[in-house]
Structure 1
Amino acid sequence: MAVEILMPALSPTMEEGTLAKWLVKEGDVVKSGQILAEIETDKATMEFEAVDEGTIGKILVAEGTSGVKVNTAIATLIEEGGSAEVAVKAAPVAAAPVAVVAAPVAAPKAPVAQGARVFASPLARRIAAEKGLDLTKVQGSGPHGRIVRSDVEGAKAAPAPVAIAAPAPAPVAAAPAKAAMPTGMAAETVMKMYADRAYTEVPLDGMRRTIAARLTEAKQTIPHFYLRREVRLDALMAFREQLNKGLEARGVKLSVNDFIIKACAAALQAVPNANAVWAGDRILKLKPSDVAVAVAIEGGLFTPVLKDADKKTLSTLSAEMKDLASRAKTKKLAPHEYQGGSFAISNLGMMGVENFDAVINPPHGAILAVGAGLKKPVVLKDGTLGVATVMSMTLSVDHRVIDGALGDELLKHIVELLENPMAMLA
């Protein structure tokens, strides 16, 4: 018997993807859990594993093909007793069960009957054993309710009420592709306006569509307000230089951004009511300081999340941030590495931008826009004029989550920590 292998939904926001690379060819015998292909989602390149065993019959979508819709047949699998001829004929037929695919996020999951045999891929069983998970309590999203890798990886999350804080925001996951036109003007209308002008049309890839949808949703639905402060960095710069001398032998070099991450994480602990996210009809106050940091990449940006950032040393945060940023630029981050968090940092100061207002990344309660540190004339403590390195910061706040006084308290703590950096080591 031949069945279809369908394009999986490998992230909550994925509606289509690019089949980047096939790791098998027609006629190859594959085992359950074997990696079949690399698929580019709107945010990352992810591996796609087999659920069932069999022989690859016909590859229907060539590698490098973009815009492949979720649930589109990309290949056929010949089960035991089948033939390649059957697979080719079966390709256009819509087979009810999916042979090899991590089912779409929205697909209903089949419950495991009490005392019934548990169907799970070998990889899923191995991960479950490592985590000590009871597979009879895990709902499978694969064909016939089979448990696959994504099911057991997600099973480590807390129960549903708490898990709202970790995944990508529901409104964005459900946003249709057409939301990528934030102005509401149809493409044909805009193109007619410029019909007599030379231009190059740049189609939107999955990442730009997602960014457009998220930013449109953020600006239309989140009541932003902005709080601004300046930070004197001279003490931090001197402290950083001293620390880097001691860390030089270990190959560690701290950046100003590492101190900003640590300061924000500590401030969220000092002002716990601001460590919160908007969950549609309620606010979730988080206990850990999970701080997202915007990383620019070609064609878009990622916001990898540094979890439990308040508990980590500056050198640990520095190493983790370098690793996340490096893998973000090659789209090698897993969804759990860039989803979640309650607070974000966008630092354009390193690019020379003096100040700006950042757009909140839902469901976060706030985002800190960091400008460049510039030499400026200042009034010193003794009342005389002097020169100091001053950095502008703007906190964009979701008024549904954080009120003005609370936002001011959070920003004040961030500033105090940056101007007294030794306090971050306490």
Structure 2
Amino acid sequence: MAINIQMPALSPTMEEGTLSKWLVKEGDTVSSGDLLAEIETDKATMEFEAVDEGVVGKILVAEGTDNVKVGTVIAVLVEEGEEVPSGDAPAAAKPAPKADAAPEKKPEAASAPKPEPEVAKSTAAPAAASSGDRVKASPLARRIATNSGIDLAAVSGTGPNGRIVKADLEGVKPGSTAPKPAASPSAAPAASASAAPAPVAATAQDFGIPHEVEKLSNMRKTIARRLTESKQQVPHIYLTVDVRLDALLMLRGELNKALESRGVKLSVNDLLIKALAKALIAVPKCNVQFAGDQLLKFSRADISVAVSIEGGLITPIITDAGAKSVSAISTAMKDLATRAKEGKLKPEEFTGGTASLSNMGMMGIKQFEAVINPPQAMIMAIGAGEKRPYVIDDALGIATVMSATGSFDHRAIDGADGAELMKVFKELIEAPLGLVA
């Protein structure tokens, strides 16, 4: 009996995905647990396993197909010697249409003859517009040509694939190839108003700048959408503190000596994850999420840690980081970061979290303001630790100092509560024995 293999939902937010690559071909025998395909979701590229066993009878969605809706039949599994039922393929062979695909023409459009347009009887200016439709030109070049009465058919393009760009129109005399018809003074304002095209934003390609076009991945589309929504809908408040790191660095060195026999090496980031988690537990008013007419208050701190991967960013989660030892956090973080870069995280390992931490200090960034990752209500941005002049015991000295900036959702967290969290975070780092107590 034939079994339909459907596009799976590989994350709670997944509605559609890209079938990046088939790992089997028609005629292959598969068993439960065998890898069938690589699917790009809104979060990462993940492997899809077979649930049933059988022979791949028909692949209905080609690899590389975008916007395949969850539930779409992508292949048919049959028993050895069984043929694919003829009714299966036609129903599922159509992959989800691409978002930028042109709409199909309606049948009635072909049957209903269109009257010949009146503009065909007019003279030079309409002819120029008509010829412009048959050549490749940037929106900006078309607008300049329309306003200046230039016949684009008489202009050679220097852009990609012969595309006419703004630079190609320089030196062409306005009206020389397609003069505008004379208009009476009284009619001029109305004519110019009706003929003026909608403004088009100029891009690099409009100016003939060498470039290449790269298609956005599902992850990049999701990042663009979610961060735009965050900045538009979440009222951010930013609070920055300077934190002295000398005691933390000394403790890290001592811990690493003690953990060397176990093959564990702590990073500064591991200790910062622990500090943020303990600060959130100590200031529970910041361990919350805004949910419309409700406020969600969490009893544990799950820290999402920003990890840069090819094509974007993903935030694997250290669950209950406040209760974990720093060595356990270090081991978990290394494993999560490695699998994140390989695209092998499970949905539950990067979905959720009560707050986030983003560290750009290793790249020399002194201080930055991170964008909140909804529905979370705060994110901690960590800058580089550097030697700075610092007042120690009422005397000017040199200390290793970093700047940390908390971004808070002001709908859920008041400024005073955010300030309290930053104060506790600073204290835990400057007196770090509390992190291992």
Q: Same fold (TM over 0.5)?
A: yes
Shift in CA distance, 196/265, structure 1 to aligned 2, threshold 3 Å: same
Give the deviation of 1:191 after TM superposition: 6.2
Q: Which one has more relative contact order, counting CA pairs under 8 Å at least 6 apart? A: 1
Give the deviation of 1:34 after TM superposition: 5.3
Deviations 1:301-353 (A, max 9, x none): 01111001011111110111111111111111111001111111010111100
2:329 aligned with 1:317: yes
Q: How far apart, in 1, do the equivalents of 2:17 and 2:386 lie?
A: 43
Alignment counterpart, residue 373 of structure 2, candidates 345, 361, 384: 361
Shift in CA distance, 54/368, structure 1 to aligned 2, threshold 3 Å: same
Q: How far apart, in 1, do the equivalents of 2:52 and 2:248 lie?
A: 57
Give the deviation of 1:29 after TM superposition: 4.8
Q: How far apart, in 2, do the equivalents of 1:30 and 1:238 lie?
A: 55
Give the deviation of 1:255 after TM superposition: 1.1
Question: What is residue 294 of structure 1 aligned with on the other side?
Answer: 306
Shift in CA distance, 32/425, structure 1 to aligned 2, threshold 3 Å: closer
SS at structure 2 position matched to 1:226: strand
Question: What is residue 69 of structure 1 aligned with on the other side?
Answer: 68
Give the deviation of 1:23 after TM superposition: 4.1
Q: How far apart, in 2, do the equivalents of 1:207 and 1:353 lie?
A: 25
Question: What is residue 194 of structure 2 aligned with on the other side?
Answer: none
Show the 5 A alignment for 1:112-191. 189-190=200-201
Shift in CA distance, 94/385, structure 1 to aligned 2, threshold 3 Å: closer
Shift in CA distance, 245/51, structure 1 to aligned 2, threshold 3 Å: closer
Runs of 4+ residues over 6 Å off in structure 1: none
Q: How far apart, in 2, do the equivalents of 1:367 and 1:325 lie?
A: 19
Q: How far apart, in 1, do the equivalents of 2:65 and 2:331 lie?
A: 34
Shift in CA distance, 343/192, structure 1 to aligned 2, threshold 3 Å: closer
Give the deviation of 1:51 after TM superposition: 5.0
Question: What is residue 27 of structure 2 aligned with on the other side?
Answer: 27
Give the deviation of 1:32 after TM superposition: 5.8
Question: What is residue 259 of structure 2 aligned with on the other side?
Answer: 247
SS at structure 2 position matched to 1:231: strand
Q: How far apart, in 2, do the equivalents of 1:25 and 1:192 lie?
A: 42
Q: How far apart, in 1, do the equivalents of 2:431 and 2:349 lie?
A: 30
SS at structure 2 position matched to 1:26: coil
Alignment counterpart, residue 424 of structure 1, candidates 416, 429, 435: 435
Question: What is residue 58 of structure 1 aligned with on the other side?
Answer: 58
2:11 aligned with 1:11: yes
Shift in CA distance, 335/416, structure 1 to aligned 2, threshold 3 Å: same
Give the deviation of 1:14 after TM superposition: 2.9
2:219 aligned with 1:221: no
Question: What is residue 217 of structure 2 aligned with on the other side?
Answer: 205
Deviations 1:34-54 (A, max 9, x none): 543332323233333445555
Give the deviation of 1:77 after TM superposition: 3.0
Question: What is residue 188 of structure 2 aligned with on the other side?
Answer: none
Give the deviation of 1:193 after TM superposition: 6.4
Q: How far apart, in 2, do the equivalents of 1:415 and 1:313 lie?
A: 19
Which letter does structure 2 place at the counterpart of 1:93?
A: A
Normalising by structure 1, report the TM-score. Answer: 0.72
Identity of aligned residues (%): 58
2:394 aligned with 1:396: no
SS at structure 2 position matched to 1:194: helix
2:305 aligned with 1:305: no
Which letter does structure 1 place at the counterpart of 2:57?
A: G
Which letter does structure 1 place at the counterpart of 2:425?
A: I
Question: What is residue 420 of structure 2 aligned with on the other side?
Answer: 409
SS at structure 2 position matched to 1:91: helix
User: Which stretch of structure 1 is more off in the superposition, 266-275 or 24-33?
Assistant: 24-33
Report if the CA contact (8 A) 1:304-1:338 is conserved.
Answer: yes
Question: What is residue 90 of structure 1 aligned with on the other side?
Answer: 88
Report if the CA contact (8 A) 1:4-1:91 is conserved.
Answer: no
SS at structure 2 position matched to 1:254: coil
Show the 5 A alignment for 1:309-388. 309-381=321-393, 383-388=394-399
Shift in CA distance, 32/237, structure 1 to aligned 2, threshold 3 Å: closer
Question: What is residue 150 of structure 1 aligned with on the other side?
Answer: none
Deviations 1:17-65 (A, max 9, x none): 33344344323455566543332323233333445555422113344x1
Shift in CA distance, 57/342, structure 1 to aligned 2, threshold 3 Å: same
Q: How far apart, in 2, do the equivalents of 1:190 and 1:91 lie?
A: 44
Which letter does structure 1 place at the counterpart of 2:66?
A: G
Root mean square deviation of aligned Cα: 2.4
SS at structure 1 position matched to 2:304: strand
* Structure with the greater alpha carbon radius of gyration: 2
Question: What is residue 250 of structure 2 aligned with on the other side?
Answer: 238
Q: How far apart, in 2, do the equivalents of 1:204 and 1:255 lie?
A: 33
Deviations 1:249-268 (A, max 9, x none): 22211111111101011111
What runs of 5+ residues in structure 2 fail to find an aligned partner? 94-198
Deviations 1:42-100 (A, max 9, x none): 3233333445555422113344x14151244422233699524x34x6311259xxxxx
Q: How far apart, in 1, do the equivalents of 2:11 and 2:376 lie?
A: 19
Q: How far apart, in 2, do the equivalents of 1:54 and 1:39 lie?
A: 21
Q: How far apart, in 1, do the equivalents of 2:272 and 2:244 lie?
A: 13
What runs of 5+ residues in structure 1 fail to find an aligned partner? 96-187
Which letter does structure 2 place at the counterpart of 1:8?
A: P
Which letter does structure 2 place at the counterpart of 1:391?
A: M
Normalising by structure 2, report the TM-score. Answer: 0.70
Q: How far apart, in 1, do the equivalents of 2:248 and 2:33 lie?
A: 50
